[in-house]
Chains A and B, each alone.
Chain A
Amino acid sequence: MNPLVLWFHKLGSPPYFYRFAGRWIPWLYTVALVAAAFGFYGALFTAPADYQQGDSFRIMYVHVPCAWMGLFAYLFMAANGFIALVWRIKLSETLAMASAPVGAAFTFITLVTGSLWGKPTWGTWWTWDARLTSELVLLFLYFGVIGLYHAIEDRRQAARAAAFLALVGVVNLPIVHYSVIWWNTLHQGQTVSLIGPSKIAPSMLWPLLTLAFATHIFFFASLFARARVALLELESGKEWVRALLPVTETSHD
């Protein structure tokens, strides 16, 4: 077998993933922290004030990376949910369910910072335009997935039901992304574009990209930490967990 495929198969095994994630977590947190410190230094000190908004535009440095992560975490959750539904891989169920609270937190921060920026810039905390509404729906979808997962007794059945809800909610992702193009919205269009020029000065762009990198790394660090705990709980009767935690032989009815 191809070594990469073999490694991927091995990664699917809970004890292997547990050790793998444990090795990576400190490094990921370190990289995320350093990148975030660097990015915030650029965002708060070196980036010049905007010609129209002045200093309030700096809220964007929290808002935009979090908004990207809200979408990214959802896509990651749905992809793992799909694998969990079709192949019934335990690790995918765990990863899908572990990414939901992280994504929900990012989405929540997006809505709050957007609101704080909207008041001075637009003149309102909230408006029911397509971008804001679909972002709120995204937060509710996360809440739905988390709620459904905790409403069903059997952990594996719960994960599959919630994964299905997560997959259905994927239709909201293009709506969030394209809402500013499809409809007249108060929210402005896309500034940073993967293809084509970005409508932002380079001195203002690099802190944003650094912070986006930092939030991605942080997501995986946080996800790995959550997944490790979830795996221990899910596999609590198994040999490898007992080997790891020999002292705590408490009954867990």
Chain B
Amino acid sequence: MTPTRKRRLIAVSLILAAIGIAAALTVLALSRNMSYLFSPSEVLAGKAPDGASFRLGGVVLEHSIKRAPGSLTVDFIVTDRFREMPVQYTGVLPDLFREGQSIIATGQMQDGHFSAREVLAKHDETYMPKEVADAIAKAKAAEAAQHAGNPH
């Protein structure tokens, strides 16, 4: 390698290393205080901004969805399996919204409950055919039934 090329190699590598370190520090700092969403536990611990709008993330608690008749208003509970937060929303819900589904709601706290402006469904990274999902659910149900019917 000629001296000029070596000098260029060192110069470019040094600049890149400096940029890399700067970026790593920025990312590290951001991951500490950049939050896309808050869980119900974090909200109840007072970590969410007070009186301002934020995103609440969690799972829709089973058997908690209550629709007000004659309107689009829905009441449900979002949980992170530790703490629970009642949510109220008026509007059209995404297709994937159902009990046990992860959702992200944008809105703010209003006398003890979370008043959502927008509700998004979070999709997980698992893809499988319906038959497989049904078979898994059936196997789980069968196992549960066996446990229930056989207490010994």
Contacts and interface: CB of A to CB of B under 8 A. Distances in A.
Contact of A49 (B5, B97, B130): B130
Contact of A170 (B16, B37, B133, B134): B16
Interface stretch (A90-98, A181-189, A218-226): A181-189
A122 B36 contact: no
B82 interface: no
A57 to B, nearest CB: 6
A124 interface: yes
Interface in B6-54: 8-9, 12, 16, 19-20, 23, 27, 31, 34-37
A197 B134 CA distance: 21
Contacts of A85: 8, 12
Contact of A121 (B20, B34, B121): B121
Given A86-B12, A167-B16, A170-B16, A200 B127 contact: yes
Say what secondary structure dominates the interface of chain B: mixed
Interface residues of A, number: 39
Nearest to B136: A51
13 contacts: A51-B129, A51-B132, A85-B12, A87-B5, A122-B96, A123-B94, A123-B97, A124-B118, A167-B16, A185-B36, A200-B126, A201-B128, A203-B129
Interface of B: 5, 8-9, 12, 16, 19-20, 23, 27, 31, 34-37, 57, 93-97, 104, 118-134
